[in-house]
Amino acid sequence: MQFSTILTSIALLGAFSLSALQPAQAQTRTGEALASDETILLMSQAFKKGNVQRLSELLPQARGHVLEPWAAYWELRARLDTASPAEIQQFLNRYAGTYQEDRLRNDWLLLLGKRQAWGTFMAEYPSFRMNDDRSVQCYALLTDARSSDRDVAQKVETLWLALREADEGCAAAAEQQLKARRLQPHAVWMRARLGFESNNLRIATQAVALLDAEWANTVSAVYSNPEHYLEGKLLALRLRTKELVTLAMIRLAVKDPAAAAIEIDKLRWQTQLSQEERSWVWGVIGKRSAMRLSDEALGYFLHGQDRHMTDDQLGWKVRAALRAGNWAQVATATAAMSEPERQDAAWVYWRARALQKLAKAEPDRIEARRLLQSIASVRGFYEQLALEELGQRISAPARPEPLTQDEKDMARRDPGLSRGLYAIQIGLRSEGVREWNYSVNLHQRGGMNDRELLAAADLACQHEVWDRCINTSERTKDVMDFAQRFPMPHKDAVLQRTAQIGLDPAYVYGLIRQESRFIMDARSGVGASGLMQVMPATASWTAKKIGLVNFKPQQITDRDTNIAIGTGYLKLVLDDFAGSMPMAAAAYNAGPGRPRSWRGQAGAPVLEAAIWAENVPFTETRDYVKKVLSNTTNYAALISGQPQSLKSRLGMVGPRELGAALVSRDLP
């Protein structure tokens, strides 16, 4: 994009009614020259490149700009290692109450923890409003005067095991608790197992080194060649050897589940490994097999005990049981999950369905109905399915009372929301989104009610920042404004195009909402562009198929061209999958080849599409299919004004019928 001018900055300031950090001073600055957007954008680039000198040179020019807090943050963050405490405190005071203040405090606390500057750390930690950084939380526990208490050890263990990357703060806190004998070595081996299961060796070696630094090398060797390690182990009587054997089994299971199943079933491991160790390994074998849609998956899970498996493993056991039609195992696996995991709408729904299938007495049917009622709403995929199980259809709720001018003005005057919008407007989307979310989240913690959320969402809608409009409106608890949650920008273009090619406009809107949140210039990390996030190769191929002559790759960001190509490709995919909306959505996200394989070979069972979607191996695609279909159903209710059925859109999924024609086998 081209750099904005000072006049553009002034115009945008007026449009957003932005207030500076010190409102009284802002009112006296009318007519003062403001730093241009160009300076801010140059500083953003310098920060990404780590150019400290350039940041320091540009900072004076950014004084007085509405995004001055970002400019000052970038400049100080880039040299935080060498900044004096006085400089840091001056920044925190000058920008008190802003996202940038709390962001820098987060960065500083991490640095203080790493340096073990506990006095300054504990003085500053209570002011950390976000308090969402697990590493910072672990550093705080490390300095806790009650660090010998079992309660602190439990908190450290919970935080540490939840981290998906190696982390110094939580590792240091875990080490302290190990030395105090409040944290047991088993927690270390659990952390190592999770590292092996997620293909993250660094997690495992960091954990095991807390027990003995030399063991980390052995763990690395086990990770590199688990088969070789297992061949040389005839006995696993010592704790360390048993755990290393378990790690080797886990690594083998990730690489080759069938081979791991053969190995762990050998007599020596049945007698030398504990039930807990064997169950964890069987959980990994089952999970990796289920991710490959193997018919053997459920049988593998049944070799272990649910109580020794992780929530993630149990989730895959539920999926394998659903594919196999084994509702008893759906019930037992969901019952074994941790309490927070059991509350997830997916597992509430499937547990209710299992109880319905297995019910032999009225109490079971009553419990199933209670579970369905606890989640039934129009808010999401499983919530909508629960409604239909209860005999209801999906309708758009009545609109809430219109916002008052005072409510709108309050949102407009919020400095964090205004800065967020401004940053997005000049191309700093990541920064703008973070500041917007921070403002909304902090308000929520302090009591931002549904009306305030609706007003904030309305502010974003009015400026056509649709992603913030949607995401903010989705936060309301007791009221819903479907016009905010499911907006229909570019309505004439979408309706005209879908009518021309015979495509359901609700389906197109459901897909666009998930793909780009209606951000015109959205671009993914892999190069997909525009409203419908079309890949360059797919765009060129589709342009030829639909007769779009003289198509040039740069045209993909044009609204009408993007809609024409995106809908054209979606129609081809939908026809290829015989009108199956869930399979076409999966194909749009992951490519058509994958859902063709996921539907199974000849002789595979025909499944409810909800079961098929839950078993999609890719987390992103699994989530995508559910959200697109849920969105579609709500858009259909809005467009038609009539109650809708998600189940009818889902249908059934099974192998392609023999003799069925492939519409476009060359679909990219």
Active site residues per annotation: 515
Both tokens assigned to 352: 């209710």
Taking alpha carbons only, the member of 226, 233, 218 closest to residue 251 is 226
Question: Which residues have CB under 8 Å from 571's CB, separation 6+?
Answer: 501, 502, 503
Sign (positive or negative) of CA dihedral 76, 81, 86, 88: positive
Helices (H), 376-465: 381-389, 405-413, 415-425, 429-446, 450-462
Question: Which residues have CB under 8 Å from 490's CB, separation 6+?
Answer: 518, 531, 559, 563
Rounded alpha-carbon distances, angstroms, from residue 233 to 222, 275, 623, 632: 12, 19, 42, 56
Q: Is 1 helix (H, G, I), strand (E, B) or coil?
A: coil
The answer to whether 330 touches 305, Cβ cutoff 8 Å, is: no
Question: Which residues have CB under 8 Å from 134's CB, separation 6+?
Answer: 159, 162, 163, 167, 169, 170
Q: How far apart are the C-alpha atoms of 579 and 571, rounded to whole Å? A: 9
Q: Is 221 helix (H, G, I), strand (E, B) or coil?
A: helix
Classify residue 102 as left (phi > 0), alpha (psi -120 to 50) or beta.
alpha
CB atoms within 10 A of CB 402: 11
Both tokens assigned to 2: 């081209």
Rounded alpha-carbon distances, angstroms, from residue 109 to 81, 106, 136, 253, 535: 12, 5, 7, 39, 41
Q: For the chain, how many residues are written?
A: 668
Q: How far apart are the C-alpha atoms of 201 and 187, rounded to whole Å? A: 17
Q: How far apart are the C-alpha atoms of 244 and 92, rounded to whole Å? A: 48
Taking alpha carbons only, the member of 288, 302, 274 closest to residue 197 is 288
The answer to whether 175 touches 155, Cβ cutoff 8 Å, is: no
Q: How far apart are the C-alpha atoms of 199 and 193, rounded to whole Å? A: 10
Q: How far apart are the C-alpha atoms of 146 and 351, rounded to whole Å? A: 41
Structural element, H or E, at residue 608: strand 607-608
CA angle 198, 325, 645 (to 5 degrees): 95
